[in-house]
Amino acid sequence: MLRGDRIGLRARHEDDIPVLRTELYDDVVNGSRAEGGPWRPITPGTRDPRLFVDDANESSVPFSVVEREGGTLLGTATLWGIDHHSRSAHIGLGLLPAARGKGYGTDVVATLCHYGFVVRGLHRLQIETLADNHGMLRAAERCGFVREGVLRSSAWVLGEFLDEVLLGLLAQDWKPGVKG
Ligand SMILES: CC(C)(COP(=O)(O)OP(=O)(O)OC[C@H]1O[C@@H](n2cnc3c(N)ncnc32)[C@H](O)[C@@H]1OP(=O)(O)O)[C@@H](O)C(=O)NCCC(=O)NCCS
């Protein structure tokens, strides 16, 4: 398990799946905002890629986020779009509603940076998020990500086009353990 200050990133367990499906992916608003595509339900028992991990897929590493002490499930986090040539990847996360706004998101971003830069030896990490996702923007910037651009009207979300912000962090600019 990867350890942050208060969270752990571990493999997906079978028990996590119904909780993540019910609390995260059955939520139409959260799904529409977070997934970059139309929300659709996940049928219990099916092997939906949002929940089930394909270990053969080397371009994506999904984690379950848990409380470091006690192990309570808090959400999901993923290093995805891993490009071994340019040594870059994207990060994404989704916390269960009860886990939001308590500082866990910032801790998850910091721990994913450790995984990307130290464990995987990557050179660049990237985040795309909706321009009104202030919690995500702040969590990313506290870990050293800088805003590199706005993708105007790039996301169709529940009846309107929204801007996305692209943030990047280079290995040489990363300060482990520092949350600004
Ligand atoms: C976005 C998300 C990952 C942020 O994680 P979090 O644990 O809620 O955020 P944190 O508690 O670490 O807060 C980070 C900062 O943002 C601020 N913040 C959090 N939620 C906020 C909100 N709704 N509006 C404004 N600021 C907010 C916090 O005050 C904190 O700032 P501070 O460090 O200066 O006090 C989490 O809320 C979440 O999973 N949301 C739903 C899914 C989602 O949006 N995923 C991202 C898709 S790209």
pLDDT digits 0-9 by tens, 116-170: 999 999 999 999 999 999 999 999 999 999 999 999 999 999 999 999 999 999 9
Nearest CA, atom 10, ligand 1? 103
Domain residue spans in the chain?
2-123
Question: Comparing C-alpha atoms, which of 96, 102, 53 is closest to residue 78?
Answer: 53
Amino acid (one-letter) located at 99: A
78-123: pLDDT as tens digits: 999 999 999 999 999 999 999 999 999 999 999 999 999 999 999 9
φ, ψ dihedrals at 157, nearest 5°? -130, 110
Please report, for residues 8, 22, 143, the alpha-carbon distance to residue 30 in angstroms, rounded to integers and kept in the order given. 23, 12, 23
Superfamily of domain 2-123: Gcn5-related N-acetyltransferase (GNAT) (3.40.630.30)
Question: Comparing C-alpha atoms, which of 6, 179, 26 is closest to residue 97?
Answer: 26
Provide the 3-class DSSP secondary structure of residue 128: strand
Ligand 1 centroid to Cα of residue 85, in Å, is: 32
The residue to mutate among 29, 138, 145, having the most atoms of ligand 1 within 8 angstroms of its beta carbon, is 138
User: 179 CB under 6 A from ligand 1?
Assistant: no
136 touches 101 (CB < 8 A): no
Query: pTM for this structure?
Result: 0.97
Ligand 1 centroid to Cα of residue 45, in Å, is: 31
User: 3 CB under 6 A from ligand 1?
Assistant: no
- pLDDT for residue 44: 87
Indicate if the pLDDT at residue 49 is higher than 90. Answer: no
Question: Comparing C-alpha atoms, which of 94, 138, 162, 83 is closest to residue 116?
Answer: 83
Q: What would the two tokens of residue 11 be?
A: 């493999």
For the chain, the average pLDDT equals 96
Ligand 1 centroid to Cα of residue 123, in Å, is: 25
